[in-house]
Structure 1
Amino acid sequence: MKIAEQEITITSAHLQRDVTCTLLMPEEGAFAEPLNLLLLNDGQELENLKLINTLENLYDRNCIKPLLVVAIHAGEERLQEYGIANKPDFKKRGAKADLYTKFITAELLPFITEHTGIEHFESTAFAGFSLGGLTAMDIAWNNPDLFDRVGAFSASFWWRSKDLTKGYTADDRLMHSVIKKTAGKPDLKFWLQTGTKDETADRNKNGIIDSIDDTIDVIKELLAKGYERPADIQYLEILGGTHDPETWGKAMPKFLQWAFGK
């Protein structure tokens, strides 16, 4: 099945910039509705992820339901717009994450409805890589009325409020703390991925890299909330996987079949 590709620009009042998005979906007449929706951070990496090839392959093998992918290109202020809303990290990065959340919920989603004429998608997922994965997790977590599923590839779950040299403890990790402090249990499902070569850093010197430790600890927080494995949480650890679009692209078919599988 051929994928139709369309580039659009949205002028965001919240971010005060033009946001480029690439839309990918099966060509006209190739599917019957209902359609599913995937928002993807760092959409400028589409080519490196080989996403079009992956989608065509999955459709040809009848593995996934019809899907609209909206790949949101990051701007020059990625380190400010991504992160956790209203909780900048210890270097004050992520100061505009609340505005990016508003762009997604109040501008992008309504625009997609208007642009496609589709009022209701069968399911909606939000995914991202590295800092974009952390951002997708934060936005979906706080908007479970808008999203059903989250994909966090090598997510920056180390994002912390305190410098390692300033009395840091594991409790200073921001996403873990957001999950812990949320009342109730958002109606979401989670797909998390790490690579054994994501990085070399090992804060607590336990022989396991931080990327894996921090992700496992997010899973522990989710389990403590009452989510269950494997029904609500999937975790993929790629042996030799590195912190780059090549590894994330290899993991993508597993995510797409989990989120939108037939």
Structure 2
Amino acid sequence: MKKSVLSYILLGLMAVLLEGLLSTAYADDLTPLILKQRLADHPTGAMADQLADQVRSWFGRTEIKDGAPPRVDGLTTAWAIEAPDATMPPKVLSDTGQYTIPLQRIGQTPVYVAVVDLPNGAGMIWTYEVNGRRARSGNLEVYAREPETNYDTHVAHGKLIQMPDWHSNIFAGTVRSWWIYVPAEYTPEHPACVMVFQDGGYYKNFVPTVFDNLIGKREMPVTVGIFIDPGHFPDNRRSPGEERSFEYDTLSDQYARFLLEEILPAAERVVKLREDAASRAVAGISSGGICAFTVAWSRPDQFSKVMSWVGSFTDLAAGKTLVEGGHNYPFLIRRLPPKPIRVFLQDGSHDLDNIAGNWPLCNQQMARALAFKGYDYKFVFGEGFHSGAQGEAILPSTLRWLWRDYPMTP
């Protein structure tokens, strides 16, 4: 008898342990789509309790109490809040009023969830509402990423080389990290095109994959990528942020000279590059975006293609007069003869609005000025924030547009 009772207890403990392990594993495999499928089964009782606990684990047991930030997979977005005092189903509201997302209660638990498929490019400031009271808010933008942003095992892959830290003379006293991407198709007998990216530590993480795919499909020329971080002072005489703004936001030819006199000659010791403007592009995000434009604007004989994401065409570099910043570009573009440069701009309606200016308005002014003067330009304006999310999602088509008429032969 004692043996039977002991066996029963052991079996019970094993069952509890197994249930816990299965519950954890069940939670670990949650995605927005899987959660949507499980909600479609309308779980009740113990199954609802189990799903609610898995949702708590997935979103975070602390986060969910105030309304967890959404979990996103492509365009499918999952929301969750634990609201034991809710007298009616909570909902998620967007700042523009475009989206009202009701949440579904899981069984009789206090956990409420929703899984929705948002339109490509949707952007919003979201807020949970419980009993008419606003809870946590946050930012969200979702995009369907173009296929060439994904790693493809069927194409040849270039190599990313981390270069020794660069000690600059033009930006005297600064040190910076930089990298060179060399396509698999490159041969020394045929000098390559080149595209320079500011804030290179960010861009190096995903641009080489897109280059591999497009070069492999002959949808852009064999192009070397140069990824450069802003400089910093080892003696901390100026903060990294201040130095970045000085290098990127200043309207002068100093950064162009830095590229032409220091970086490109150093890169030439590793890989042979073409020297005509049609074979050179420059890119960046935020202050790096206006920096890219400034490089081509000041030296159109050397750089003919610009890619700017959420560009800071604002008064960040106000100078002593408070009027020396990049907000002047739309008016300079209108006043001066057109320059032989091609410009891609991207921004979103939720971008920054502060003392330096309104980023969406300034980018729209840039686009209108380029159109007025007859430039070869493209402006993609969405609903996003001050981020690279949209730029990353559409990078393949952006590069196709920038290089669309360039000969694809070596």
TM-score, structure 1 as length reference:
0.76
Measured after TM superposition, the shift of residue 109 of structure 1 is 2.5
Residues 188, 271 of structure 2: 8 Å contact kept: no
Alignment of 1:9-24 (within 5 A): 9=164, 10-16=166-172, 17-24=174-181
Q: Which has the larger radius of gyration?
A: 2
What is the aligned counterpart of 1:26 among 172, 183, 192?
183
Aligned equivalents of 1:128, 1:172: Cα separation in 2:
15
What is the aligned counterpart of 1:175 among 290, 309, 329?
329
What is the aligned counterpart of 1:251 among 388, 394, 409?
394
SS in 2 for 1:254: helix
Aligned equivalents of 1:78, 1:155: Cα separation in 2:
14
SS in 2 for 1:112: helix
Aligned equivalents of 2:362, 2:348: Cα separation in 1:
12
SS in 2 for 1:173: helix
Partner of residue 221, structure 1: 369
Structure 2: tracts of 5 or more residues without a match = 1-155, 232-239
Structure 1: tracts of 5 or more residues without a match = 87-97, 204-208
Partner of residue 144, structure 1: 300
What is the aligned counterpart of 2:349 among 171, 189, 196?
196
Higher-RCO chain (CA-CA 8 Å, sequence separation at least 6) = 1
Aligned equivalents of 1:254, 1:220: Cα separation in 2:
22
TM-score, structure 2 as length reference:
0.51
Distance 1:160 1:78, change over 3 A: closer
Aligned equivalents of 1:31, 1:219: Cα separation in 2:
39
Partner of residue 403, structure 2: 260
Distance 1:139 1:253, change over 3 A: same
What is the aligned counterpart of 2:244 among 78, 102, 110?
78
Q: C-alpha offsets along residues 50-85 of structure 1, whole Å, 9 cap, x if unaligned?
A: 223222332344422211010111232212211133
* Residue identity matched to 1:250: A
Distance 1:18 1:28, change over 3 A: farther
Say if 2:340 is the partner of 1:187: yes
Residues 160, 174 of structure 1: 8 Å contact kept: no
Q: C-alpha offsets along residues 125-179 of structure 1, whole Å, 9 cap, x if unaligned?
A: 111111100011011111000011111111011236769xx9x99x982322443
Partner of residue 201, structure 2: 44
Distance 1:32 1:256, change over 3 A: farther
Q: C-alpha offsets along residues 190-248 of structure 1, whole Å, 9 cap, x if unaligned?
A: 1111123323x389xxxxx9333211211222233332xxxx1111123x433223332
Say if 2:311 is the partner of 1:155: yes
Query: Between Structure 1 and Structure 2, how many residues are aligned?
Result: 234
Which sits farther off after the overlay, 172-181 or 17-26? 172-181
Residues 201, 227 of structure 2: 8 Å contact kept: yes
Aligned equivalents of 1:52, 1:123: Cα separation in 2:
18
Distance 1:248 1:29, change over 3 A: closer
Which sits farther off after the overlay, 245-254 or 29-38? 29-38
Residues 176, 228 of structure 2: 8 Å contact kept: yes
Say if 2:150 is the partner of 1:6: no
Aligned equivalents of 2:202, 2:245: Cα separation in 1:
16
SS in 2 for 1:102: helix
Q: C-alpha offsets along residues 94-149 of structure 1, whole Å, 9 cap, x if unaligned?
A: xxxx5433212322233333442335366111111111000110111110000111
